[in-house]
Structure 1
Amino acid sequence: MNVLFFSSKVYDSTFFNAANKSHQHKLSYLEVPLNKNTAVLANGYGAVCIFVNDTANAEVLRLLAEQGVKLIALRCAGFNNVDLGAAAELGMKVVRVPAYSPYSVAEHTLALILTLNRKTHRAYNRVKEGNFALNGLMGFDLNGKTVGLIGLGKIGLVTAKILKGFGCRVLGYDIEKRGEFDEIGIEFTDLSSLYANSDIISLHCPLTPQTHHIIKKETIAQMKPGVMLINTSRGALVDTKAVIAALKSGQIKYLGIDVYEEEADLFFEDLSDRVIQDDVFMRLLSFNNVLITGHQAFFTSNALESIAGITLQNIADFEQGRQLENEVKA
């Protein structure tokens, strides 16, 4: 099948070309993102493969359909950037990668927690300059702390298992309780109790209308003073301006994020020779208790191999008329 990739990087073509040896699809790669101005580039392709910051709203999907595109293949788990209702009306199928390597994101979550706590990033820079003073580098034992996980899918559960290994008490919230929560040792609770009792709160839920800005002024006020907030899921789960206010007041003492609500114009690009125009993002960077990575939690060789394999299998299943196990519907 002819497949056009949007927002592709060198690592995408490397892993997808390797995985394609067993499928023999015709793959083409574009660095430009998918939007209303670039959709016409898909003329003659049966499928497009898109990523987290590509735009697939009703207007863009209509333009793709006019080019002959029948399949939207997401090379990620999230699908909040696709208008599923419009896709259904146009007769287009949407598939995704529901799970690639939950360990990649879960382990990055712990990397953010440990780095913020023990301030290893600041210590590294000090030592390079010959400064071996310890003032300002004090952390706390993770053992015995209470961590609240919002979202207990595959990534949330792996994160819980790692945290239990550190000796943490783990509180969890999801839309439904499952038996495996008890097996892992997660204390299932409501959001209010999770906010009130957690020393660290980590987000692992999808972005939906219900979870949009789940972290906002009102919910931050319910948290323990000095809480650590971690987000490796979707940027729009967090009201950034409300978090900045909480950082200034000390209600939030540590912030670690791998995602940002307005990241589409920032992440995955080298902007080191430009002046970043996003004032809110630049304000975040000004805090010494904020740690930001550029949507790299998924970025392990294991995850990319899995993403490539599952995505190409999704495309093969569509081409051959098989059941689409990873289809996303409105």
Structure 2
Amino acid sequence: MKVAVFSAKKYDQEAFSQWADTNLKFVYFESRLNLESVKLAQGCHAICAFVNDDLSAPVLTQLSAIGIEMIALRCAGFNNVDLTAAKELSIRVARVPAYSPEAVAEHTLAMMLTLNRKLHKAYNRVRDDNFSLEGLLGFNMHGKTVGLIGTGRIGLATARIIKGFGCKLLCYDVQEQPELAGHYTSLSQLYEQSDILSLHCPLTPQTHHMINANSLAQMKDGVMLINTSRGALIDTKAVINSLKSRKIGYLGLDVYEQEADIFFENLSEQMIDDDVFKRLLTFPNVLITGHQAFFTKEAMQQISQITSDNLVSYASGQLNGNELTH
């Protein structure tokens, strides 16, 4: 089966080369999938897509027209897929529901510690022979209250690490984990009591812009906010206003609502036209990474293996539980 892999980087090719089934032939395209690039999948039976590929109804219609019957997402999130249209077009969609949740959890903690202890600033100072401690004062994580919104596999992995720091843990999720019994509370109480708040929930119509002017107003002054989940969970303009008013004391983002035109590319020689994103970069208490929380050797191995397994299952007419449509 011939598979067109969109948004493919060198590291994707290296990962898939380790797990490629002899019945799968991957064709790699660096282009993101959209209405203009659909034609690259001509002659393929399936495509492999990533988080910022366009899988809206118009694109799916074009994919169906050229004979694409299967979409293998090499990610857990699927908010970029019009599942209703996919079902109507009889296009199968499968995802990677979980891959090394510890990778994202550890990156979450790395962002917390970097912002708190200002490690990024200290690194640059020392390289300039500046050993002053002025402006580098942090706080003990031990004893602080950390609120987690979303306690799926990544949230649960984050909770385990947080407990090891001696933090007080508060959680919110519509589906509670037995392991975290006693830590769940209401969303309003979590907002009010958390010194650090970290997002680990999927993007749905209900969670879109859940961090907004209203929810921010309920939080402690100087709160630390971390998002390694999906960019659109946050109303970025509201967050900027809260940074300006000092309501938010620290902001760590591995995702951004309009990241599709920015992340995963080297834009160092270009002008970025996104004024909102550029405004975020002006704040000294904001740390942004380019959607790299998942990016470990172990996670890449699991992503490529499960994605390949999903394609092989489809080719053999089997279901393996990772399907979103069938």
- TM bracket, shorter-chain basis: over 0.9
1:199 aligned onto 2:209: no
Q: Which amino acid aligns with 1:73?
A: A
Helix, strand or coil for the counterpart of 1:86? helix
Helix, strand or coil for the counterpart of 1:261? coil
1:98 aligned onto 2:97: yes
TM-score, structure 2 as length reference:
0.99
1:166 aligned onto 2:179: no
Report the counterpart of residue 18 of structure 1 in structure 2: 18
Report the counterpart of residue 146 of structure 1 in structure 2: 145
Report the counterpart of residue 322 of structure 2 in structure 1: 326
1:300 aligned onto 2:301: no
5+ residue gaps, structure 1, are: none
Q: How many residues align?
A: 326
Separation (CA, whole Å) in 2 of partners of 1:159 and 1:55: 30
1:268 is displaced (CA, Å) by 0.4
Report the counterpart of residue 204 of structure 2 in structure 1: 208
CA contact (8 A) 2:171 2:190 kept: yes
Helix, strand or coil for the counterpart of 1:136? coil
Report the counterpart of residue 250 of structure 2 in structure 1: 254
Report the counterpart of residue 77 of structure 2 in structure 1: 78
Stretches of 4+ aligned residues off by more than 4 angstroms = none
Match of 1:280 among 260, 266, 276: 276
Report the counterpart of residue 44 of structure 1 in structure 2: 43
Match of 2:236 among 236, 240, 249: 240
Q: Which amino acid aligns with 1:238?
A: I
CA contact (8 A) 2:91 2:325 kept: no
RMSD over equivalenced CA pairs, Å? 1.0
Separation (CA, whole Å) in 1 of partners of 2:152 and 2:246: 30
TM-score, structure 1 as length reference:
0.97
1:329 is displaced (CA, Å) by 3.8
1:92 is displaced (CA, Å) by 0.6
Q: Which amino acid aligns with 2:41?
A: A
Q: Which amino acid aligns with 1:321?
A: G
CA contact (8 A) 1:268 1:294 kept: yes
Report the counterpart of residue 7 of structure 1 in structure 2: 7
Separation (CA, whole Å) in 2 of partners of 1:156 and 1:106: 7
CA contact (8 A) 1:13 1:29 kept: yes
Report the counterpart of residue 30 of structure 2 in structure 1: 31
CA contact (8 A) 1:23 1:316 kept: no
Q: Which amino acid aligns with 1:5?
A: V
Deviations 1:37-89 (CA, angstroms, capped at 9, x unpaired): 11122111111000000000000000000010000110000000000000000
Separation (CA, whole Å) in 1 of partners of 2:23 and 2:44: 15
Match of 2:214 among 218, 231, 256: 218
Helix, strand or coil for the counterpart of 1:196? helix
5+ residue gaps, structure 2, are: none
